[in-house]
Structure 1
């Protein structure tokens, strides 16, 4: 099979490439990203095309890459700078249009799109399945972008019934290799590295957390496994991807601390002040994604794909925290700490 993966050098892309590389079947994988990575595993088994999906010459690159492809896995997404909405829209919306139109021209029979649980409307305490409204988390630039693109994807599926279309909606995707990029996206420039190391080492006795916080994580390798299964089965529709639920007490126990639950509005206000002062990349909208996105039911992925996460949320959180404490870089430009310095964009924007 020939599989084209956009955003293949990123966090989720890394898990997807590892899954295809480990599969017993013979795959020809084509990777598309702005800056192709060095030829180290798993990137060394990929044919790379450099492409800015929002550029005018993207269709030519995509047409060449997608010729005779069996599936396209669209993972490319720009997360920052959220203060530059036009730039995000150019890459995320216009870029997705370019990918879908290229898939249509090449008559690719299967398209898999990487969305997020941030596309869901907030819910109560019970996990939601894939039928829950996809109206997004209010105030989240990221969530609104996912909602807009999913709506476009539904129109594409209706207009192209000969193309199988699937959507993955993972929760926070964790892995050590993403740590440096997470620091750049959310914590730089003022969160000191020593504070994260103290947290990892169990030397912070009290851990402030939003009241009632419950989260699910999923490892990049488990997302990659789900994508592989979707492609193998030419599955359609949406699939929630998440491990088990961690509450505030469970998160605190991970670092040998006691949870101090604070009103969410207080913590959100503090995040807002730091963000407006350009002291952290974490915006109030991102805080809302982390605290208001619903828990998800993964029954469909388990039943139709035979999928189950191999790492639980505690394992994911422990690996991610250790990586953050070490500022562990990934093997590509997209996973480095200086990722926001390209194209003249300073880290603080």
Structure 2
């Protein structure tokens, strides 16, 4: 079986490639902006832009396409992220149809869902997101495009996976660059370092390990899946859970204060995440993942708390992964790379559109 994976070197991409190639007879073609030195068995990589008219040549002969490619930055230039994420996503779907690919697995996000704070929702909840948040707006638009795409291509099996927040050790430094930026002291994120933790009032979210999402993608590629599936652990992380994870006393702050503070840092180019992303986070529902468990037999190995704790500890350690988007680079502390990563070569510490091409 031939499977093409876009965004194959990012947070989710590395776990998806690993999950797919565990099966005998599966070959994966990984598509990314930069070809990695990482070479898992049963995988070959091509360097390609998903917006390129020649993308379909890399999809010919593929039985399935898994679309993961996504640019989180530059957040100050939403036209660029729209071009990559929306126009690039549409170009990828159309290229798959032109190449005769029979199965499309698109990994969407909880961020596509409309506001529903405090509610646990199934896959029929509206996917209109929060239009002022670029991430949600782009996720929602692709959902609308796929509605029409499925009608025009009934020969293709289209699966939409909507995971909650995805963490793993190898992606810690990448996620730190994408969401926190270079000015946040990484050491303070290690559980036990903070005495007091400020948490926006009403914050509730779910987390899932990247390996568990990779397992869900594998089941969707091979199984009878069709339509949308939420992918989430049962445990919900709220202020009390964050206090336990960080081993800190929690102080609740109004959501408006959190948004104002993050917005000010973003406008001063001190943090890459903006206030609208905080607004989206505070508005999101939690996910009922009953359908993926019943129909595909998916069960997470890791709890949400375990996935988040793994990422925070790795971020404090300066850990990273073996691909260009996941390399830790050098932090502001000037601490050298771990030997096993410096031998592979490191990318720049600062964020760039290319370094952010991958799944969160």
TM normalised by structure 1 equals 0.92
SS at match of 1:133: coil
Task: Assess, with a 3 A threshold, how the Cα gap between structure 1 residues 341 and 215 changes in structure 2: closer, same or farther.
Answer: closer
Deviation at 1:343, TM superposition (A): 6.8
Contact 2:71 2:354 in 1 (8 A): no
Deviation at 1:273, TM superposition (A): 0.8
Structure 1, unaligned runs of 5 or more: none
Q: Give the match for residue 75 of structure 1.
A: 68
Q: Work out which of the residue numbers 143, 149, 165 in structure 1 matches 2:158.
A: 165
Deviation at 1:146, TM superposition (A): 0.4
Deviation at 1:223, TM superposition (A): 0.4
Contact 1:183 1:327 in 2 (8 A): no
Q: Give the match for residue 313 of structure 1.
A: 304
Contact 2:21 2:43 in 1 (8 A): no
Aligned partners of 1:247, 1:100: CA distance in 2, in Å?
36
Contact 1:179 1:328 in 2 (8 A): yes
Deviation at 1:327, TM superposition (A): 2.2
Greater fraction of residues in helix: 1
Q: Give the match for residue 146 of structure 2.
A: 153
SS at match of 1:269: helix
TM normalised by structure 2 equals 0.89
Aligned partners of 1:207, 1:112: CA distance in 2, in Å?
38
- CA deviations on 1:165-211 (whole Å, 9 max, x unpaired) are 011111111001111111111112211233224xx2x1322211011
Q: Give the match for residue 14 of structure 2.
A: 14
Aligned partners of 1:293, 1:177: CA distance in 2, in Å?
26
Tell me how large the CA RMSD over aligned residues is: 1.7
Task: Kindly indicate whether residue 340 of structure 2 is the aligned counterpart of residue 340 of structure 1.
Answer: no
Q: Give the match for residue 31 of structure 2.
A: 32
Deviation at 1:63, TM superposition (A): 2.3
Within-5 A mapping of 1:121-270: 121-197=114-190, 200=191, 202-243=192-233, 244-270=235-261
Q: Work out which of the residue numbers 279, 295, 300 in structure 2 matches 1:288.
A: 279
Deviation at 1:342, TM superposition (A): 6.5
Q: Work out which of the residue numbers 32, 37, 46 in structure 1 matches 2:43.
A: 46
Structure 2, unaligned runs of 5 or more: 329-347
Aligned partners of 2:262, 2:174: CA distance in 1, in Å?
19
- CA deviations on 1:219-254 (whole Å, 9 max, x unpaired) are 100000000001111411011111121221111111
Q: Give the match for residue 262 of structure 2.
A: 271
Contact 2:5 2:65 in 1 (8 A): yes
Contact 1:34 1:50 in 2 (8 A): yes
Which has the higher mean CA deviation after the structures are superposed, 179-188 or 297-306? 179-188
